[in-house]
């Protein structure tokens, strides 16, 4: 059990260089399997899942050099032997995105049952299976493994998703590059990390139409080349450090090369009386004297923060705004339209003396403004819930303990170091 000890009550002040987005880095790594040409990736974070993928590539026979200090990763898959056999790592959800590359390269991929990720409720693989079958793969089970085999030449297809799933969209795009002809996906996810995967693939020579929209067309590439690609800053981490400024009464600036992604995020901060400013490649939030929920023009309606697939507020950011909700004076309804297990952690907030009401598995109301007290709380295995609990603890005078806080390392390798650099008093322990 990894614990985080936080002495709160200090305004956080300073500038932060955020890491790259885990949800962009992982699919890009998986997509490198499509080429034998050398790939150089820059601003690669030293996080658990990246280490797992790098280790898997080594087991396949790839040549990989990772300068962690320089955040540079050089990959060459040309040394993978034709007869290589691979069972994908079970401990990370991103494993499923390596299947298209392995099918194209080896004709087979194996995945253990019960692929894990954050504890966010049921996360089925059926949509992925539908994608692989649409591109000519057979799917079956052998013992405790799901086996995918490419039985013939992949042909272009058209698919309309029931739900704008990020990883399903990414699997479709990667698979389409191995097929003959032009494929189209309707109701595609369009999150910034999906757009970043497309940008990387285009750097390799892929032809993709509709990037950032709900309808994407992908031309079968034949043979892709190499690329030298630098990952953008993680918008999740940018928003999180801005929220830390708001909740602690601080003043934080975060490097941000894509402020165009922040219009709705900025408006959501405004619902708590906080304002984000963007200038010269930086985003800054100076906390107001007191966080207060802004009243709707239609006064009998409760202020809402609704999380759903992009361009809504991302579900991954909902916990940080819930942390603002328990601190700000007033009531806010939070609506997670993505995960049925995404709000069950609200009971931990009551240990801080926060007042919340879970209406159903998808909706939570915070009644903010109460005096919060230090506490020992336990984080579920959800990255930004651990961070949200850290946010609340950092806003309260006295020492709090967050048990099972380790999940935040899965996405943010330097998060606690940056947190400390802003003037916080925080340390890891057992």
E strands in 296-353: 303-307, 330-336
Contact between 243 and 215 (Cβ < 8 Å): no
State how far Cα 35 lies from the chain centre: 25
pLDDT at 411: 72
Q: What is the pLDDT of residue 2?
A: 85
333: left (phi over 0), alpha (psi -120 to 50) or beta: beta
Q: pTM of the predicted model, to two decimals?
A: 0.91
307 neighbors 313 (Cβ within 8 angstroms): yes
- Look up residue 290 and give its two tokens: 């007191």
The strand order across the sheet containing 276-279 reads 13-16, 251-255, 282-286, 276-279
- Percentage of the chain modeled with pLDDT above 70: 97
Delineate the domains of the chain, giving CATH numbers in brackets: 3-19+233-429 (3.65.10.10), 22-230 (3.65.10.10)
From the CB of residue 83, how many other CB atoms can be counted at a distance below 10 Å?
6
Number of H helices, E strands in the chain: 12, 24
pLDDT at 91: 63
pLDDT score for 20? 95
Taking 70 as the pLDDT cut, the residues of the chain under it are 1, 90-91, 113-123
Q: How far is residue 195 CA from its own chain's centroid?
A: 13
Name the residue with tokens 């194996």: 110
């Amino acid at each position: 059990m990894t614990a985080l000890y936080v002495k709160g009550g200090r305004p956080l002040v300073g500038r932060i260089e955020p890491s790259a987005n885990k949800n962009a880095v992982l699919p890009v790594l998986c997509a490198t399997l499509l080429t034998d040409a050398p790939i150089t990736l820059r601003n690669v974070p030293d996080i658990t899942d990246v280490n797992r993928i790098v280790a898997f590539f080594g087991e396949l026979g790839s040549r990989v050099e990772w300068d962690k200090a320089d955040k540079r990763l050089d990959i060459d898959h040309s040394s993978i032997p034709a007869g290589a056999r691979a069972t994908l790592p079970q401990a990370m959800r991103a494993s499923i995105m390596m299947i298209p590359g392995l099918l194209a390269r080896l004709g087979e991929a194996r995945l253990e049952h019960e692929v894990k990720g954050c504890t966010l409720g049921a996360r089925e693989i059926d949509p992925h299976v539908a994608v692989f079958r649409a591109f000519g793969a057979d799917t079956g089970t052998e013992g405790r493994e799901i086996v995918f085999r490419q039985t013939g030449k992949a042909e272009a297809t058209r698919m309309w998703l029931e739900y704008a799933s990020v990883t399903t969209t990414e699997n479709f795009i990667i698979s389409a590059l191995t097929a003959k002809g032009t494929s189209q996906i309707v109701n595609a996810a369009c999150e910034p990390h999906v757009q970043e995967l497309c940008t990387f693939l285009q750097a390799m020579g892929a032809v993709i139409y509709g990037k950032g929209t709900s309808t994407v067309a992908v031309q079968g590439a034949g043979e892709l080349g190499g690329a030298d690609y630098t990952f953008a800053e993680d918008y999740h981490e940018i928003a999180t450090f801005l929220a830390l400024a708001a909740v602690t009464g601080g003043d934080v600036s975060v490097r941000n090369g894509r402020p165009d992604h922040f219009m709705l995020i900025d408006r959501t901060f405004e619902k708590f009386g906080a304002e984000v400013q963007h200038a010269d490649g930086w985003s800054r939030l100076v906390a107001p004297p007191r966080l207060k929920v802004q009243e709707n023009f239609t006064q009998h309606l409760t202020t809402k923060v609704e999380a759903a697939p992009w361009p809504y507020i991302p579900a991954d950011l909902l916990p940080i705004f819930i942390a603002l909700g328990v601190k700000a004076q007033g009531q806010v309804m939070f609506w997670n339209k993505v995960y049925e297990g995404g709000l069950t952690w609200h009971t931990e907030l009551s240990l801080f003396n926060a007042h919340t009401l879970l209406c159903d598995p998808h909706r939570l109301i915070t009644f903010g403004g109460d005096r919060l007290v230090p506490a020992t709380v336990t984080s579920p295995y959800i990255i930004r819930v651990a961070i949200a609990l850290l946010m609340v603890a950092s806003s309260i005078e006295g020492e709090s303990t967050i048990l099972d806080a380790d999940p935040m390392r899965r996405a943010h390798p330097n998060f606690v170091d940056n947190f400390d650099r802003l003037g916080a008093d925080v340390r890891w322990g057992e």
